Structure 1
Amino acid sequence: MTTDTLTRLDLAALNAMDRDRFVATLGPTFENAPWIAQAAWARRPFASLDALHTAMLDVVRQAPDDRQLAFLRGHPELAGREAQAGTMTAESVGEQGSAGLHALGREEMAEMQRLNRAYRERHGFPFIIAVRRSTKQQIFEAMRMRTARDTAAERREALALIGLITRDRIDALVQG
């Protein structure tokens, strides 16, 4: 579900949802990882959007390292294969489009592909950034800089940025 197709939900209505509806509604906020919403459902009722988001982030933080890594690997590359094939989530399509990543020129696309490949080879997961909070130029600069960083630090950065991305998604979906 996207905010394009429905009005924002009320937090009380979200708290009252059965597990399947809760997961169907909130599952897409954490890229290709409905297991996060499934685990967070048991922590209802949420007193606020902060409490909801924190519960979902805690599920990720408490996941074993291999599950966290699989979660990171489930994110699409910027202007990558998923974007070209049209298989990204609606949320990612909108986010990448907001920074103009859907309309890169030939040279920009070649640079993006090179940076995506270098980042993934170095760190083992795709580059993650809060696209809606960045310009295209800032994204390219961050990719260049962050590729050279230590993988453990980069993993922490990716998880922190996922916190920003998912909070924006939840705020667009649910009114507190």
Structure 2
Amino acid sequence: MADPGKLDLAAINRLDAAGFVVRFGGVFEHAAWVAERAHAHGPFASVDALHGAMMRTVRAAPAETRIAFLNGHPELAGPEARARSMTADSASEQGSAGLDHMPPEDAEAFDRLNAAYRRRFGFPFIIAVRGRARSEILAIFAARLRGAPAEEEQAALDEIALITRMRLDRLVAGSG
């Protein structure tokens, strides 16, 4: 039996721009503009094609737009998490990795890494945390802090591609 909350590709391709944005505007963190611009590239032959159009929209945006987009993401276990002001998707994703309840030493490590990363790159560290242990996330965080700025922006966008594909799969019938 199909999930009544999910749309299939035929229904997605019938959405007008406003309906498409209502349905998919939250897939990319605080960036409904991605769905708005990607809609023009439909109809979509597959979920891969839909997601590809969305990612091309982000990657083709001017540098200042991409950096603002990256800055729309919450820090891992950061102030937004402590204030419980993240989007429901981000809260669920961070919670799945145990980032919503950590021992003080891990919380301090995340705070130190978040501050160092933002100073170095000008945007928060972004990683697809679902399915990863906190220790693995911390190790990747420390390693990526040593990367070059241009490489790190691409790494952040690659992680966003993983995150947003998982989010799309939860919204589209027959995917995932």
C-alpha contact 2:96 2:131 (8 A) present in aligned 1: no
Determine what percentage of the aligned residue pairs are the same residue. 51
Please state how far the C-alpha of 1:18 moved relative to its aligned partner: 2.0
Q: Where in structure 2 are the equivalents of 1:43-122 lying within 5 Å?
A: 43-122=41-120
Could you state the TM-score of these two structures normalised by the residue count of structure 2? Answer: 0.93
- Figure out how many residues of one structure are paired with residues of the other and give that number: 171
Q: Which runs of 5+ in 2 are unaligned?
A: none
Could you state the TM-score of these two structures normalised by the residue count of structure 1? Answer: 0.93
Distance 2:142 2:68 in 1: 23
C-alpha contact 2:6 2:171 (8 A) present in aligned 1: yes
Report what 1:20 is aligned to. Answer: 18
2:59 partner letter: R
SS of aligned partner of 1:145: helix
Distance 1:138 1:9 in 2: 34
Runs of 4 or more above 3 Å deviation = none
Q: Which has the higher helix share?
A: 1
Please state how far the C-alpha of 1:15 moved relative to its aligned partner: 1.4
Please state how far the C-alpha of 1:24 moved relative to its aligned partner: 1.6
SS of aligned partner of 2:20: helix
Q: Which runs of 5+ in 1 are unaligned?
A: 1-5
Distance 2:101 2:23 in 1: 29
Given the alignment of the two structures, is residue 168 of structure 1 paired with residue 166 of structure 2, yes or no?
Answer: yes
Please state how far the C-alpha of 1:133 moved relative to its aligned partner: 3.5
Distance 2:128 2:117 in 1: 16
Please state how far the C-alpha of 1:86 moved relative to its aligned partner: 1.6
